[in-house]
Amino acid sequence: MSILPAEQMNASMDVDILIIGAGGCGLCAALAASESGLEVAVLERDSSALGTTSMSTGLIPGAGSELQRAADINDSAQTFAADINKKAAFNTNQNVVDKLAAESGCTIDWLVNQYQIPLTLVTGFTYPGHSVLRMHGMPGRSGQELMGALSQAVEDQQIPLVTDALVTDLYADDDKRVYGVRYKDPDGEFEVIGCRTLILACCGFAGNQDMVNEYIPEISKGEFFGHPGNKGDAIRWGLSLGAKTADMHAYQGHAGLAKGYGIPILWPIIMEGGIQLNKHGQRFSNESLGYSEQAVNVLQQPDAEAWTFYDERLHELMLDFTDYQHALEAGAIFQADTLEEICAQCKLDTDQVNKTLNELAQLAESGKEDEYGRQFSPDKLLQAPYRAVKVTGALFHTQGGLEVDEHARVVNDDEQPLPNLYAGGGAARGISGSGADGYIAGNGLLTATTLGRIAGQHAAQSIKQG
Ligand SMILES: Cc1cc2nc3c(=O)[nH]c(=O)nc-3n(C[C@H](O)[C@H](O)[C@H](O)COP(=O)(O)OP(=O)(O)OC[C@H]3O[C@@H](n4cnc5c(N)ncnc54)[C@H](O)[C@@H]3O)c2cc1C
C-alpha cells in the first residue's frame, strides 16, 4: 500500500471519478457522482460487492425523511445533531455532524424515490441515544438486502463496478494530487486506471489486527465480526499523502454476539427490558447505555461472556429481525417455562438470578435507578416463560479515520483539503468521539450513505466547475 510517483503512471483507461470500495459508501458515492453525467467507476477487492454493509442490519438514521413525516414523527436536523453530540460529548467535527444530520433525511428520500430502495421507518422501539424514531431499514432488516438493492441500482445506471480488484497503490504528485491507482487481480496481474478525483470508500482498519492492537487495545481480544477485507488501506494512503487522522480509538463494538454462533442479537432486546448477567447470575453494568460500550464490559466478565436474559414478550419483538431468526434456527436461544429450568439450562444460580429479578421489580416500583444508573419500567419487567442467549463482546468496525470537511474532502493537518481526494463511511473520521461510548446506533451507515452521497455530488461539482 504505497504512493507511487505520478510520472510513473501508465494507465490503460481513465475515468473522471474513481471510487475504491463497493460497500454502502462506495455505491452511494457512485450513484450520486454518476447523476452528473461524468464517467464513474468502482473498484472492489472482493468477488462481489458486500463489505461490512452486507453484514449489517442495514438500519440508516434519517432526520426529516418523508417516511418520518408520513408517520407523524416530529424530527429535525437540530434534534438529530443534538442526539449525536450528546452521545459523543461534542468530541466530533461539528461541521460534519451538522451537515450529516441535515442531509440524512434527504439521503433516505433519495434512496427511496430515485433508486426504489424499499426502506421503511422502523417503529416499535427507539434505539439508544435517539430521541425519536428515525431508523430506516429494508423489509427484512438486513444489510444483505440493502447491498442487493444498491448493487441493482448501480447496475441499472450502468456504472462500471470492477470486482476482484485489490487496489494496492495510488499515483500522486508532490502537491498530493492523485492521478490514478494500481490494482491487482486474483492472478497477480496489475492494472492501472487514471482518474481526475478519487473517493476512498474502503472502510476502516477493523480487519487489520496489528492496527487494532496499536490503536484500540481495549477491544483487541474481542471477537472480530466485521469485514476482513478492511485493512486500513485508506488510512495508510491518506497518512502517506499528509492527511490528518482523528479519533483512531473510536469503534463500534457490540455486546450481543451469540457466542460460538457469530450471530448478533440486536439491542431492542435490551432497550425493551432485557438484561445481561455474568456466569454468576449477576448484572455488571448499565446495559441500556449502548451496545457499543457494553462490549468491553462483557469482555471483562469471567470467560469474556454474558447471558442476555429476557422473556417471551421480547422474543416476539425480536422475531422481526433476520439475525434473530438465524440465532433461533442455529439453536443459540434457550427457552424454559420457569426460572429454575432456564437457570439449569444456562448453568446459572437460580437464587442469584431470582434475587436480581426481585431487585429490578423493587426498583421499577420505586422509580429509582439501579447502582449503574439504569431505570426499569414496571410494564417491562421480565416474566416467565424466559429466554436466554450466551453472548460475547465483539468489534464490528472502526470509527476513526481520515479527517474530512463537510464536503467529504480529505484534509491535511492544517485543515486544508487535499487537491482531489475524498473519503466517506469507515474510511473517514466518524462522528462518534474518541472511544466506544460515543457511537450512537446508525453512525456507521449514516457516514457510509450520506457522506458517500455528499462525496459523489461534491466531487462531480468540483470537476464540472473546473
Ligand atoms: C454486524 C454488524 C451490524 C451493523 N449494523 C449496522 C446498522 O444497522 N446501522 C449502521 O448504521 N451501521 C451498522 N453497522 C456498521 C456499518 O455496517 C458500517 O459502518 C458500514 O457498512 C461501513 O460502510 P463502508 O461502505 O464504509 O464499508 P464497507 O461496507 O465495509 O465497504 C468497504 C469495501 O471496501 C473494500 N475494500 C477494502 N480495501 C480495498 C482495497 N484496497 N481495494 C479495493 N477494495 C477494498 C472492501 O472489500 C469492502 O467491500 C453494522 C456493522 C456490523 C459488522
**Ligand 1: centre distance to CA 281 (Å):** 35
Strand 178-184 to 166-172 pairing: antiparallel
Q: pLDDT tens digits for 288-327?
A: 998 999 999 999 999 999 999 999 999 999 998 888 999 9
| CB of 55 shorter than 6 A to ligand 1 | yes
- Tell me what the mean pLDDT of segment 384-405 comes to: 97
Which residue type occupies 329?
Answer: E
| CB of 193 shorter than 6 A to ligand 1 | no
CA–CA distance from 313 to each of 19, 387, 450 (Å)? Answer: 45, 10, 35
| Nearest protein Cα to ligand 1, atom 1 | 56
Q: pLDDT tens digits for 45-104?
A: 999 999 999 999 999 999 999 999 999 999 999 999 999 999 999 999 999 999 999 999
Examine the pLDDT at 128 and tell me if it is beyond 90. Answer: no
Closest CA to 203 of 362, 21, 382: 21
Q: Which atom of ligand 1 is nearest to the CA of 57?
A: 8
Q: 44 CB contacts (<8 Å, ≥6 apart)?
A: 21, 22, 26, 161, 162, 163, 164, 165
Considering the chain, what percentage of its residues have pLDDT values greater than 90?
94
Q: What is the largest CA-CA distance in the chain?
A: 74
For residues 402 and 244, is the Cβ–Cβ distance under 8 A? Answer: yes
**Ligand 1: centre distance to CA 273 (Å):** 30
Q: pLDDT tens digits for 240-287?
A: 999 999 999 999 999 999 999 999 999 999 999 999 999 999 999 999
Mean pLDDT score of the chain: 96
Backbone angles phi, psi at 35, to 5 degrees: -65, -20
Which pLDDT score, from 0 to 100, does residue 140 have?
87
| CB of 75 shorter than 6 A to ligand 1 | no
Which pLDDT score, from 0 to 100, does residue 436 have?
87
Q: Which atom of ligand 1 is nearest to the CA of 427?
A: 26
CA-CA-CA-CA dihedral for 287, 291, 296, 299, to nearest 10: 80
**Ligand 1: centre distance to CA 96 (Å):** 19
Q: pLDDT tens digits for 19-37?
A: 999 999 999 999 999 999 9
Which pLDDT score, from 0 to 100, does residue 204 have?
97
| Third-level CATH fold of 2-249+399-464 | FAD/NAD(P)-binding domain (3.50.50)
| CB of 453 shorter than 6 A to ligand 1 | no
| CB of 52 shorter than 6 A to ligand 1 | yes
Domain boundaries along the sequence of the chain: 2-249+399-464, 251-395
Alpha-carbon distance 318 to 159, whole Å?
37
| CB of 442 shorter than 6 A to ligand 1 | yes
For residues 439 and 396, is the Cβ–Cβ distance under 8 A? Answer: no
Examine the pLDDT at 466 and tell me if it is beyond 90. Answer: no
Which residue type occupies 139?
Answer: P
Which pLDDT score, from 0 to 100, does residue 281 have?
95
The band of 124, judged by pLDDT with boundaries at 50, 70 and 90, is confident
Which pLDDT score, from 0 to 100, does residue 265 have?
96
| CB of 167 shorter than 6 A to ligand 1 | yes
DSSP 3-state assignment of 300?
A: coil
DSSP 3-state assignment of 275?
A: strand
Q: pLDDT tens digits for 197-250?
A: 999 999 999 999 999 999 999 999 899 999 999 999 999 999 999 999 999 999
**pTM check: above 0.85:** yes
**Ligand 1: centre distance to CA 438 (Å):** 19
Lowest model confidence (mean pLDDT) among 4-8, 131-135, 140-144, 149-153: 140-144
Which pLDDT score, from 0 to 100, does residue 435 have?
87
Alpha-carbon distance 12 to 241, whole Å?
24
| Nearest protein Cα to ligand 1, atom 16 | 444
Query: Which grid coordinates are listed for 380?
Result: 417491562
| CATH 3.90.700.10 holds for 251-395 | yes
Examine the pLDDT at 417 and tell me if it is beyond 80. Answer: yes
Which pLDDT score, from 0 to 100, does residue 409 have?
98
Q: Which atom of ligand 1 is nearest to the CA of 225?
A: 53
Q: pLDDT tens digits for 437-447?
A: 899 999 999 99
| CB of 203 shorter than 6 A to ligand 1 | yes
For residues 52 and 174, is the Cβ–Cβ distance under 8 A? Answer: no
Strand 251-258 to 386-398 pairing: antiparallel
